Structure 1
Amino acid sequence: MRKSLKSAPVVAALLAVPVSAMAHAYPAHETPPSGAVLKLLPGEVSINFTETVNRHFSGIVVQGPNGKQVSHGEATLERNNPKTLVIHLRRSNRAGRYTVLWHALASDGHRTHGRYSFQVTP
């Protein structure tokens, strides 16, 4: 009985210590969304992440149906929203599947990456 009483404060202290969240930045909302079928290629792609991202170590690249990059410039953070990256696209009338490749560094230092696609039809 004495052993359990002695260990009770230790257990209570461990439970009281805050555990840092293992946050990772994953897409919460994409524009255009994954699997979308569009009549025209939009002027930009934006991804809203679940966590704040570091603009300098996060990015988006969009490839056209021929595999060539249609995004230009660097991805920027949406004004007043450190969770949303935006990349501008070159004008293109090419129909087909467009692939969005993204990578993100969350403000807590965790890295994530992924891809999704959308279609443009005539």
Structure 2
Amino acid sequence: MSAYTKVSHSVVRNPRLTSDAKVLLVYLQGLPESAATTKPLGEHALDLGMKPRTYQKAKESLTTCGHLHEWRWQDGQGLWKAGRAWDALDRTSLLPGVPDGSAGAEPSRG
């Protein structure tokens, strides 16, 4: 296990991400994948000492900036299930030739 975690500049320099959201994202990024996905996100926040409202704001910030994706579905018995995926990179900002990530824009011809 390494003693450090690499963090993308897009996370560190993003002014829309709160500092708590950045800490939560870096914490998740440094965990083994099995540990990061088996435990609810709120429990990871509690491990970091975040209070519930702080966690809600961090989660909202991560969702708004495209780093956290959540979905819900009903299983065959009618019970609701939830899933989530987090990503250290905002994939919408990686469209070729589109600096703001707007999906409707044409890529630049170079």
Interval of TM-score (by shorter of Structure 1 and Structure 2): under 0.3
Q: Which has the greater radius of gyration?
A: 1
Normalising by structure 2, what TM-score?
Answer: 0.22
Q: RCO (CA 8 Å, sep 6+): is it higher in 1 or 2? A: 1
Q: Which has the higher helix share?
A: 2
Normalising by structure 1, what TM-score?
Answer: 0.20
